[in-house]
Amino acid sequence: MTQLKVMVAAVVACGAATVLWLQHSFSERLRRENEVLRGVVAELDSIHRTRDPVVGSESLTRGQLDELLKLREEAARLGEQTNQIGVLVEANHRLVVTLKELRAVAEEGSKEKRPEDASAEDIHPTASWAFRGYATPEAALESLFWAEANEDKTAGRTRRTVGFRIVDRRQLSKDETVLKFYTDWYDAEGHIRFNEFNPTIFQRIDGEWKATDKHAPKD
């Protein structure tokens, strides 16, 4: 995830929040108007019911009756709009929450992975090294380290490497995967250090994963 994508997610989230605020304000205005109209309708209904029963509906003029009907229709319309806006406000709220979560994921994904970020299953001390074959990129990497360590023993060389760790992996295609990894070693004072390797592309050839010298593409 590039920085541009993170910025776009942030802009979209801000825009959604603005729309949410505008819709909320409009909804409040409609709600207040609706309450006023309902009050007027209730008052007119009350007047109509308290009139002399002998006079009946004739106690209200034709114009008053038409106005009462219009007010009832307007109240019903505003009530329906208020309900619709309530649904939109809720949907927009969920959108804002989702965008915030996506932005958090984007920001986390854009951080460069360090040795300390390696999970426990991705840390491989030398004592556990073995020939793992080439069925997966991870197995192929450990097999390479194991072969090199055994070559050093045969040649009588002394190494201070105490393990390796994978901090990131990206699948470029079904037959290409990038691994980013470090070796762990102790310096002369006994402090652990990390040696970073360039992200390595592993390619599946005839069912086996092999390290290549191809440069990994940028995110």
> Both 174 and 79 in a single domain?
no
**How much is the pTM?**
0.52
141-178 pLDDT, tens digit each: 999 999 999 988 887 777 788 999 999 999 999 999 99
> Both 138 and 87 in a single domain?
no
> Both 26 and 105 in a single domain?
yes
> Both 28 and 106 in a single domain?
yes
Residue count of the chain: 219
16-64 pLDDT, tens digit each: 555 555 566 666 666 676 676 666 666 656 655 655 444 444 555 777 7
> Both 89 and 153 in a single domain?
no
> Both 18 and 58 in a single domain?
yes
What is the H or E stretch that residue 32 is in?
Answer: helix 3-50
Sheet strands (E) in the chain: 123-125, 161-173, 176-186, 192-196, 200-205, 208-215
The count of structural domains within the chain is: 2
> Both 170 and 77 in a single domain?
no
Of 110, 130, 160, the residue that ends a domain is 110
The whole domain housing 206 covers 117-215
